[in-house]
Chain A
Amino acid sequence: MAGARVVLTLAVLLAALCPSARAQEHEAPPPPANKWSFAGPFGKFDRGQLQRGFKVYREVCQVCHGLKLVAFRTLADPGGPGFTTAQATAIAAEYQVKGEPDEQGEVKDRPGRLADTFPPPFPNEQAARARYNAVPPDMSVIAKARGYERGFPRWVGDIFTQYQEQGVDYITALMQGYKDRPPAGISIPPASFYNEYFPGHAIAMPPPLTDNRVEYTDGAPMTVEQYAKDISAFLMWTAEPHLEARKRAGMQVFIFLIVLSALLYFTKKKVWHAVELHPEKLKPRPPSEYPRA
């Protein structure tokens, strides 16, 4: 049984390696998990939340952050904020995009159309760096571009709970994670701000949200916490506009595959019935063609 002892020792060693809470100075804590309407197998976006989040984007974020992969027409697509085509056309027209060169070869601005994407807030990275000392990232897929270590064994559970909301939980926490002063003993570079959840704690973005900054007309609380959740949900939609269709198709595929698997299982049992119970009754078969060992 030497082998069993080897196996056991290895298993114990492996378990010992599982990270215990290591309180490192510059390690950001995991963000708290929120309840999201789009989580889980039956998840759907809350249209009102997406529209509020879009309002937050327009009034707070779009000065610095682009959405260059998002077309105005998608604002009217099913599974999204639920604007009508007319509303989306009007929203598009509020933006100025670069037009085609005219007869003199000059490129002038023109109002946006449904087919256009959100124009960038700055012409290139160098202009952004000159203005902000940093390059504010485009937010089209940022909800999928951020996450945090879930650690073992939580990630095993995530497979079954379908937890895919690391990005939005992080963004929500980040929005609320600013502190006026860093804790004693920690210093951050000048022109940066202390944020609990940002890796390294020193973030170049000033705190973007304050209470009552954006007016909500549907009665939702106008707090930093609500703004953080709404902008995160909106960013989840910009990252995964087909989320609802995907989960709906998933349910259909699942039901189909379960039915098919059950049918195949019983068919297999029936086919193998003779072999398993009465091997001597097998039909004679053609001679095999390979050499015997």
Chain B
Amino acid sequence: MSGHPSYQPQSAFMRWMERRLPIGGLIYSSFVAYPTPRNLNYWWTFGGILAFMLGAQIVTGVILAMHYTPHVDYAFDSVEQIMRDVNYGWLLRYLHSNGASMFFLAAYIHLFRGMYYGSYKEPREVLWILGVILLLLMIMTGFMGYVLPWGQMSFWAATVITNLFSAIPLVGDSIVTWLWGGFAVGNPTLNRFYSLHYLLPFVITGVVVLHIWALHVAGQNNPAGVEPKNEQDTVAFTPYATIKDSFLLAVFCIMFAWFVFYIPNFLGHPDNYIPANPAVTPMHIVPEWYYLPFYAILRAIPNKLLGVMALGASILILAFMPWLDTSRVRSARYRPAYRQFFWAFVIVCVGLGWLGSKPPEGNYVLFARIFTVYYFAFFLVILPVLGKIEKTKPLPKSISESVLREGEPIGAPAPPPAGAKV
């Protein structure tokens, strides 16, 4: 991980520093000279986008924390004070609330990219599991953050989700009381959620460091799913990957800005502009869009404990993908059958998300159940079986070959003569 041979400090100060704390060398080997497969497409930029969004959420969040009051009588009004009185408060608040949505959007794209191209396969299993842990941490952080404005949805989401733990036999109720710090969601709950919401992003940062470390040990996966074999297969991270990431980050920020400046409340729910009222439950309690698929799975199971277990399993099962998938071929580019099931899985996830926003009645419940079955069948049945019986396309011999000869050249006018430069 620490690359000493390549970095040549240019200034006397850096030479002095390198002997004492070789940060310069670390950054150089990890983000400048680091060999990156040359055929990465734009789906690979979302890791960098996620790092940017984590930084953005932390910066805007720490600033919001300067103005927010975590007390049930003042929380809602303090958020409104941020929106009205704090200089650029409206901007910081909307950046943070819409930033959470952008964060999850990028995370899901990043995740689906991994599923499609087999980035979870050997030797990247630990990298993948760290990613699942990051997803879990994000889910917890986002949930607690949403409670803080203390609107109707904040309060009732907190009530519903903490009540899930009562499904645990024997100790369930004690756990719920312990989480609440009282006999219902109240001021103690709000305060501890605030504390943990501030803490968890830094835990996420630590796990991200491990995630990048694990990545750099194995190296990037790439769309062909074959490992780099020689120097022609890779390019230096800087400037090639850096500029590509920067470009898509700017485009991503255009979309982010569209929400923040023009439709800042589109992804939210109007009920959260009603101050929390423990005596009145909203007609339809809905979580934010990024939790909807899991919410649909939870409600699809008629039994309380099994529903909670299904909810947990729907996230944790991701961690087992490296072992559930029996295929020898990494990338879905060369697995036509898997590709179909993958896209069906994506549609099922989107469908579950939509169903999660609907009241649990009639046909909605029926389809939520059908989709939940497919969701779990994808991992438990399709992945193991398909790997054994599928017919895959022949793999390219190397990344360079896949780029220059496989019909996906990036601007090459004519392939080099056979046997020339490989």
Q: Which residues of A contact B (CB under 8 A)?
A: 1-4, 6-7, 10-11, 13-14, 17, 41, 69, 71, 74, 137, 140-142, 144-147, 152, 158-159, 162-164, 166-167, 199, 239, 241-242, 245-247, 249-250, 253-254, 257-258, 260-261, 264-265, 267-268, 271-272, 275-277, 279-280, 282, 284-286, 288-290, 292-293
> Which of chain B's residues has its CB closest to A253's CB?
B257
Question: Knowing that A3-B336, A14-B351, A293-B226 are A-B contacts, what are 16 other residue pairs whose CB atoms are under 8 Å apart, sorted by A's residue number?
Answer: A7-B340, A14-B354, A17-B367, A147-B270, A162-B262, A167-B270, A199-B283, A242-B83, A245-B90, A257-B250, A257-B257, A261-B250, A261-B251, A271-B243, A275-B410, A290-B35
A69 to B29, CA, bound (A): 54
* Shortest distance from the beta carbon of A159 to any chain B beta carbon, whole Å: 7
* Shortest distance from the beta carbon of A165 to any chain B beta carbon, whole Å: 11
Stretch from B105-113, B179-187, B230-238, B295-303 contacting the other chain: B230-238
B341 touches A268 (CB 8 A): no
* Shortest distance from the beta carbon of B191 to any chain A beta carbon, whole Å: 23
* Shortest distance from the beta carbon of B76 to any chain A beta carbon, whole Å: 9
**A265 in contact with B354 given A7-B344, A285-B236 (CB within 8 Å):** no
A177 to B364, CA, bound (A): 31
A11 to B343, CA, bound (A): 11
A239 to B411, CA, bound (A): 52
**A13 in contact with B367 given A74-B84, A141-B273, A254-B254 (CB within 8 Å):** yes
**B278 at interface by CB-CB < 8 Å:** no
Residues of the B chain whose Cβ atoms lie less than 8 Å from the Cβ of A242? 83-84, 90
B29 touches A289 (CB 8 A): yes
A145 touches B404 (CB 8 A): no
* Shortest distance from the beta carbon of A170 to any chain B beta carbon, whole Å: 9
**B: interface residue count bin:** 35 or more
**B274 at interface by CB-CB < 8 Å:** yes
Q: What 6 pairs between A and B have smallest CB-CB spacing?
A: A3-B340, A250-B261, A293-B227, A145-B273, A147-B270, A276-B411
Residues of the B chain whose Cβ atoms lie less than 8 Å from the Cβ of A249? 91, 261
Contact of B364 among A17, A144, A286 (CB under 8 A): A17
> Which of chain A's residues has its CB closest to B152's CB?
A145
A3 touches B341 (CB 8 A): yes
> Which of chain B's residues has its CB closest to A238's CB?
B84
A254 to B270, CA, bound (A): 26
A253 touches B270 (CB 8 A): no
Q: Is the interface of B mostly helix, strand, loop or mixed?
A: helix
A162 to B5, CA, bound (A): 54
> Which of chain B's residues has its CB closest to A166's CB?
B270
> Which of chain B's residues has its CB closest to A249's CB?
B261
B247 touches A265 (CB 8 A): yes
A3 touches B400 (CB 8 A): no
Residues of the A chain whose Cβ atoms lie less than 8 Å from the Cβ of B35? 285, 288, 290
A152 touches B354 (CB 8 A): yes
B80 touches A140 (CB 8 A): yes
B261 touches A247 (CB 8 A): yes
